[in-house]
Amino acid sequence: MKYVFYLSFILCFTSVLGQSPVSESLNKEKGGRLEISQSREIKGTDFIYDEWNKGILVLNDSVFSKQDYLKYDTYKDRVLIKNMNNISEVIEIKDKSFTGFSIIEGKKNIKHDFVKIPSENFKDEDQGGFYEIVFNKENTNYFIKKNSKVLYDPNRSKGTQTINNYPLEYRDIVEYYIKNNEGLYVNVKLKKKDIKSILTNHSQDIDFYIKANKIKFSKENDVMKLINYYYSL
């Protein structure tokens, strides 16, 4: 992706584009107006980050829209923003041209990039949706991960005779994918056997790099460094 230009999104477009065909089509965007309410009967949150963060929406991989308030619901795989003309109004982005987004994590000031990837790009026809880019060499997205959440019932693990004293809770699930030689994403665990089954070329160089740099396959950052090195060969 290349950052081409920015525009204000939803309802009031005040960018340098004015009333261009692009902004007019976005003005008719059918994102739903929502109310966010946290159930007291569920522990945790369905969002990747609890608080609202600054972010960027990406349309057609070329149009970039800065947002002051953006949230990513990993339970329902949806992106929400606030209407800047009515800060209490929350909007779900459903536009077909919506191809990705970035979140500036406020507490750490780290930018996380997400792209929409269709199911046919996966070796085993995964569900598709939004994936976070862990490593991006020349816009090829070799290393990505899927952030999602499930509802877990802790009472079920206590046996059927236990009174349901514990609330439901959201639990995080992270799945990693590496692009193989055919250009398809393969689901992997952060284990040496899984990673090396994808990085099949330059085996001697890879083995030397792993040993010299004391790569720990359980660490995402170490795997990212290894993939970075692999695709630099």
**Average pLDDT score over residue span 71-92:** 92
Which amino acid is located at 3 in the chain? Y
Q: With bands split at pLDDT 50, 70 and 90, how would you rate the model's confidence at 155?
A: confident
Q: How far apart are CA 43 and CA 228, in angstroms?
A: 38
- Checking DSSP bridges between strand 143-152 and strand 33-34, what pairing results, if any? unpaired
Q: With bands split at pLDDT 50, 70 and 90, how would you rate the model's confidence at 216?
A: very high
pTM of the model: 0.77
- Structural domain span for residue 130: 5-188
State the pLDDT at residue 23: 32
Q: Say yes or no: 177 and 209 in one domain.
A: no
Instruction: Tell me how far CA of residue 71 lies from CA of 44, 165, 170, 188, in angstroms.
Output: 15, 31, 16, 27
Q: How far apart are CA 73 and CA 53, in angstroms?
A: 13
Tell me: pLDDT of 9 over 60.
no
> Considering only 126-130, 149-153, 181-185, 218-222, which range has the smallest mean pLDDT?
126-130
The model's pLDDT over 224-233, given as tens digits with 9 standing for 90+, comes to 999 999 988 8
**Average pLDDT score over residue span 117-130:** 85
State the pLDDT at residue 20: 28
Q: Say yes or no: 172 and 201 in one domain.
A: no
Q: Say yes or no: 171 and 130 in one domain.
A: yes
Q: Say yes or no: 219 and 182 in one domain.
A: no
Q: By percentage, how much of the chain surpasses pLDDT 70?
A: 78
Structurally, how many domains does the chain consist of?
2
- Reduce the secondary structure of 127-182 to three states and give it as a string: CCEEEEEEECCCCCCCEEEEEEEEEECCCHHHCCCCCCCCCEEEEEEEEEEEECCC
Q: Say yes or no: 197 and 225 in one domain.
A: yes
User: What are the φ/ψ torsions at residue 57 (nearest 5 degrees)?
Assistant: -95, 145
**Average pLDDT score over residue span 9-31:** 33
> Considering only 79-83, 137-141, 142-146, which range has the smallest mean pLDDT?
137-141
Q: Say yes or no: 77 and 13 in one domain.
A: yes
Q: Say yes or no: 55 and 165 in one domain.
A: yes
Tell me: pLDDT of 1 over 70.
no
Q: Which of 152, 172, 188 is the last residue of a domain?
A: 188
Helix axes 220-230, 203-212, angle to 10 degrees: 140
State the pLDDT at residue 141: 85
Q: Say yes or no: 178 and 199 in one domain.
A: no
Q: Say yes or no: 201 and 137 in one domain.
A: no
The residue count of the chain comes to 233
Q: Say yes or no: 129 and 229 in one domain.
A: no
Q: Say yes or no: 102 and 35 in one domain.
A: yes
Tell me: pLDDT of 24 over 80.
no
**Is residue 117 packed enough to be buried (19+ CB in 10 Å), middle (13-18) or exposed (0-12)?**
buried
Q: Say yes or no: 183 and 197 in one domain.
A: no
> Considering only 44-48, 63-67, 69-73, which range has the smallest mean pLDDT?
44-48
